A and B are shown apart, each in its own frame.
Chain A
Amino acid sequence: MNIVKKIKTLLKEAELYHSQGLMYEAIAKYNDATELIQKNEQLKNKQNLLEGISKKINVLNKDISKIELAPKKPEVSENIQDLIKKMYAFSPDMDEGAKALEGAVALAKFGQFKRAISDFNELLKRDSTRVDAAKNILRCHMALFSIDEAISQYEKWLLDDIFNPDHLNKIYIFFESLLNNEGVEKTLPKTKEQVDKVKVAVSSENDQVQISEPKDAGLEKSETVSEGEVESEAGSEDVLDVNSIGISVDSGPQKGHVYEFKVRFQLGKVVSLLIPSRDKDVIENFKIGSEIHDVQYYSNVGLFKGSGLVSAVKEITIGPLRGDYCVDIEVMVH
């Protein structure tokens, strides 16, 4: 093949790869062509050719970075959200309420918080899901960093008459430790009468809410919970609300290291953790169906130890949490 023909072939191939969206393959062909042109002394308008190719490569590089830096998608459209619910929350043997709850949790897991809140609000109407829905609404607000919103929602519930005193107490204990966990110091009203009287004090010099990493928030909390509250919570049949968990790595180079993760959502015995993309290494330890030994659960009534069964590991690909991982762990206490 003569040299001009060879170059032409390479350029055509590069174009075709580009049209297929195969950017790196296209660049490779352009590079081959460039090399060939540079080696060839007799070639006419060599400089023009090289410049033309370099422009093409620039365009490709721009396309690549566009793809790699694709803007984060906030909430996706409603029918897609419906589909996510259906996809990630189908268990044929569950009742409607439980199914709907799982669907709403699935939405929250994928960063679709607003829609999740509206779904959870619907679930407040059912006896069986009311308390779980309320807790998750508060969690969604916190995840959106709208702590004020969470607090005013809670106060509104105190004023409305949709929860019985036992429910309200559960929500109170849960919310207080959730706030605590986020480093927000406050005194929450416990009754209708206390709303308005209590001002929310936030642990910060200016008026901004500060979010701190959870340390042993759950533990600290245990010291301040009165016995009566401990009983009412621990005596109920559902699993304790877990705020964060600590996992010790038991093998590999990281052996002995304890990772701590915040619990974003909890549905019965299953807690969902949000694992930031920077902790990707840890994900490798989470295999679906495997048991994690030596787990510390920081609950609102103190620390308890146990193990956990990994029930799901998902990468969040849409919404503001894109790139992070969502891991579901079933709490097992011995």
Chain B
Amino acid sequence: MAILNLKKRQIECKIVYYGPGRCGKTTNMEHIYKSYKKQVTGEMISIDTEGDRTLFFDFLPMGLGEIKGFDVRVQVYTVPGQVQYRSTRKCVLKGVDGVIFVADSLAVRREKNMLSLKDLQHNLKEYGINIFKIPLVMQHNKRDLAGEGLPIMAVEQMERDLNRQLKVPSFPASAISGQGVGATLKECLKLTLISLKREMKLGQ
């Protein structure tokens, strides 16, 4: 639910990084924070618990500048991936405009990815949002670990597992090196703005 202020010609929208525990959501945001200084408009706030696990959420405010006469502001959040924070994840999703689903490429996390995607679908549904309709982008993260000798899934397999029905844009990435991180976020922002534009037209 983006907030539109016609008087100030301002749009504020919300993007959420979703995905299983340890898949690299916070690392994605850290990279954005470091590498997109021009678009970042404030501090990144992380609330984490023991072992660097996100406890509540990470938050990063961004500004995309003027688009078609509107000052576009974006609030980016990550959810806590650990299974027990189910309700918190739902809270963070409140009012979401676009979602980035970060999947872990490690073969041992295959099932966790699928469960998390299901959890996303379920939580969106509780807000009356259809996962097939919300701007959604997928990221296959930790591709670099193939070089370390850890069994990782082929992109094709991950696509089959997670994206066969959704058919959303997806990106290989390595959040730790930053590869693919910007492309993922940009695509999600693009889809979100297109969708907002459509909604605004409908609302007129």
B31 interface residue (CB < 8 Å to A): no
User: How far apart are the CA atoms of A315 and B56 in the complex, in Å?
Assistant: 10
Least CB distance, A121 to chain B, in whole angstroms: 25
User: How far apart are the CA atoms of A21 and B56 in the complex, in Å?
Assistant: 18
Query: Which residues from 32 to 68 on chain B have a C-beta closer than 8 Å to any C-beta of chain A?
Result: 43, 45, 47, 49-53, 55-57, 59
Contact B49 A67 (CB under 8 A): yes
A83 interface residue (CB < 8 Å to B): yes
User: Which of the candidate stretches B143-151, B153-161, B183-191 sits at the interface with the other chain?
Assistant: B143-151
Residue of chain A at shortest CB distance from B86: A315
Contact A70 B49 (CB under 8 A): yes
Q: Point out the residue from B45, B59, B91, B106 that lies within 8 Å of A22, measured CB to CB.
A: B106
User: How far apart are the CA atoms of A313 and B127 in the complex, in Å?
Assistant: 11
Query: Which residues from 1 to 44 on chain A have a C-beta closer than 8 Å to any C-beta of chain B?
Result: 9, 12-13, 16-17, 20-22, 25, 28
Residue of chain B at shortest CB distance from A13: B150
Contact A288 B91 (CB under 8 A): no
* Interfacial chain B residues near A318, Cβ < 8 Å: 47, 55-56
Contact B127 A317 (CB under 8 A): no
Interface size on B, residues (CB 8 A): 35
User: Which of the candidate stretches A72-80, A215-223, A256-264 sits at the interface with the other chain?
Assistant: A72-80
Contact B22 A21 (CB under 8 A): yes
A289 interface residue (CB < 8 Å to B): yes
Chain B contact surface mostly:
mixed
Q: Point out the residue from B22, B55, B127, B148 that lies within 8 Å of A288, measured CB to CB.
A: B127
Least CB distance, B12 to chain A, in whole angstroms: 9
Least CB distance, A70 to chain B, in whole angstroms: 4
B87 interface residue (CB < 8 Å to A): yes
Contact A63 B51 (CB under 8 A): yes
Question: Given contacts A90-B3, A288-B126, A325-B87, are A21 and B51 in contact (CB under 8 A)?
Answer: yes
User: How far apart are the CA atoms of A318 and B47 in the complex, in Å?
Assistant: 10
B95 interface residue (CB < 8 Å to A): yes
Question: Given contacts A80-B47, A317-B56, are A16 and B148 in contact (CB under 8 A)?
Answer: yes
* Interfacial chain A residues near B151, Cβ < 8 Å: 13
Question: Given contacts A22-B108, A70-B49, A70-B50, are A313 and B55 in contact (CB under 8 A)?
Answer: no
A287 interface residue (CB < 8 Å to B): yes
Residue of chain B at shortest CB distance from A12: B149
A252 interface residue (CB < 8 Å to B): no
Contact A289 B128 (CB under 8 A): yes
Query: Which residues from 67 to 93 on chain A have a C-beta closer than 8 Å to any C-beta of chain B?
Result: 67, 70-71, 73, 76, 79-80, 83, 87-88, 90, 92
A314 interface residue (CB < 8 Å to B): yes
B132 interface residue (CB < 8 Å to A): no
* Interfacial chain B residues near A289, Cβ < 8 Å: 126, 128
Least CB distance, A18 to chain B, in whole angstroms: 11
* Interfacial chain B residues near A283, Cβ < 8 Å: 87
Least CB distance, A24 to chain B, in whole angstroms: 9
A66 interface residue (CB < 8 Å to B): yes
Query: Which residues from 61 to 119 on chain B have a C-beta closer than 8 Å to any C-beta of chain A?
Result: 80, 85-88, 90-92, 94-95, 106, 108-109
Residue of chain A at shortest CB distance from B53: A67
Question: Given contacts A20-B22, A80-B45, A92-B3, are A317 and B80 in contact (CB under 8 A)?
Answer: yes
Query: Which residues from 117 to 150 on chain B have a C-beta closer than 8 Å to any C-beta of chain A?
Result: 126-128, 145, 148-150
Question: Given contacts A17-B108, A289-B128, are A315 and B50 in contact (CB under 8 A)?
Answer: no
Question: Given contacts A13-B149, A288-B127, are A83 and B59 in contact (CB under 8 A)?
Answer: yes
User: How far apart are the CA atoms of A16 and B49 in the complex, in Å?
Assistant: 21
Residue of chain A at shortest CB distance from B126: A288
Please indicate which of the listed interface residues B43, B49, B94, B149 has the most CB atoms of chain A within 10 Å of its own CB.
Answer: B49
Query: Which residues from 290 to 334 on chain A have a C-beta closer than 8 Å to any C-beta of chain B?
Result: 313-315, 317-318, 325
* Interfacial chain A residues near B128, Cβ < 8 Å: 289
Contact B55 A317 (CB under 8 A): yes
Least CB distance, A329 to chain B, in whole angstroms: 16
User: How far apart are the CA atoms of A92 and B51 in the complex, in Å?
Assistant: 37
Contact A16 B145 (CB under 8 A): yes
* Interfacial chain B residues near A90, Cβ < 8 Å: 3, 95
Q: Taking A13-B150, A317-B80 as given, write out 12 further A-B residue pairs in contact, using a Cβ cutoff of 8 Å, ordered by the A residue number.
A: A21-B22, A22-B108, A70-B50, A70-B55, A80-B56, A87-B92, A87-B94, A88-B91, A287-B126, A289-B126, A315-B85, A325-B87
A residues apposed to B, CB below 8 Å: 9, 12-13, 16-17, 20-22, 25, 28, 63, 66-67, 70-71, 73, 76, 79-80, 83, 87-88, 90, 92, 283, 287-289, 313-315, 317-318, 325
